[in-house]
Amino acid sequence: MAEANSHPYIRVRDLNNASVLLLTSEMLYIDDETRSNISRYVVNTGDLIVSVVGTIGLTAYIGKTLDEANLTENCNKLTSYKGDFAAWSYFFLRSSMGMEAIRLGTVGAVQTKLALKNIKSMNVPFAPACAIERTTSTLNGILELI
């Protein structure tokens, strides 16, 4: 790992007890060459991430201080949940229903993992758009407080 620079590297352990993930002094950094090699593993503010290997099912919402940070391959970013659906999806994944969906999507006997295809096939219960709009400001407010 590199000295502190503009390329923070998010590991699964950084998700422990995080709701909104922000840059901390505990985070590691990568050098320019490594960043170019893992350019597909970059997250942006508003992305949701979920750990898929090791401790499976840890979820966090990427905060402003980690925009364009680098993500371990042991996590997946969920980027299709932008806008009004980001907070909704985050709270679903943290709910008992979401955790059960994650558990059911986990495969493997020795090295368990949550396959991307299983994440994509999760049934996230959505309310009518007008209800989501009303709820979104409350959920976003909770995320801001966290």
Residue-wise DSSP of the chain: -BSS-S-EEE-GGGGTT-SEE---TT-EE--HHHHHHTTTSEE-TT-EEEE-BSSTT-EEEE-GGGTTEEE-TTEEEE-TT-THHHHHHHHHHHSHHHHHHHHHHEE-SSS-EE-HHHHHT-------HHHHHHHHHHHHHHHHH-
Q: Judge whether residue 138 has pLDDT over 90.
A: no
User: What pLDDT, on a 0 to 100 scale, did the predictor assign at position 33?
Assistant: 93
Average pLDDT over residues 104-124: 86
Q: Share the mean pLDDT of the chain.
A: 85
User: What pLDDT, on a 0 to 100 scale, did the predictor assign at position 122?
Assistant: 85
pLDDT more than 90, % of the chain: 46
> Model's pTM, two decimal places?
0.80
